[in-house]
Amino acid sequence: MKKSFELEDHFRSLNQIPRSEIQKRKTYNTILQTGRKQMPNQCLANWTGSLLTFVMILVCGAYLLTEIQAPAQNGSASLHSSEIVAESEAVITYLTKSDSADHFNLHSNLTRKGILIVDEPGWLEIMNSTVNGQNNVKDAPEMKSAYDLLLIYEGKKPDKCKVWISKNQVYIKRMKENKVYKVEESQAPKVIAMIDDMEKQVQF
């Protein structure tokens, strides 16, 4: 927009041109109206540009903040999941002959005769994968000649379980729940053989 003294120079120049007073007045009004129309348009254009710049800064800031926080949250979630898995894995087990489906013999004095401590890696892996897996059966066979199995964890209460064999398949039931888990068929012969060896060692 032109400054006031520049407009005054233009008015003086126009005044030197031979014209009638009516023509001079019309020219003066036209110049004033044009200036008034341009001022709001220029202000609006300047305000719109500033608003767009501010919005872009906010959007970029929000995006960067999300990207910074996401890795930390994912990392903490992964760590938390690994901790849960670690706490859900038994580190040692106790095994003995069961008297009945409702009674559990492994409460105290776990070093007495007839109780076997089992910490063999292969056995622990099968027990953990079975009780922590999804291979639960609805129509499990009747529990006969069962064994009491106590799973010991780090930072978690022990699990009291019943283990029994039916038609060369091995079933495990947590006493605190109604679900019955089935050992994978490929692992069942190994578990059965290990139980037979244990039974010979301690003479349940």
Q: Where are the beta strands (DSSP E) in the chain?
A: 92-97, 116-118, 136-137, 147-152, 159-166, 169-174, 180-182
Give residue 17's pLDDT.
58
Residue 60: the pLDDT is 65
- pTM for this entry: 0.57
Is residue 61 over pLDDT 80?
no
Q: What are residue 32's phi and psi, to 5 degrees?
A: -65, -45
Check whether 192 has a pLDDT greater than 90. Answer: yes
Domain boundaries, the chain: 4-86, 88-202
d(CA 198, CA 193): 9
Residue 158: beta bridge partners?
none
Pick the CATH number of 88-202 from 3.30.390.50, 3.40.50.1820, 2.60.40.4400, 3.40.50.620: 2.60.40.4400
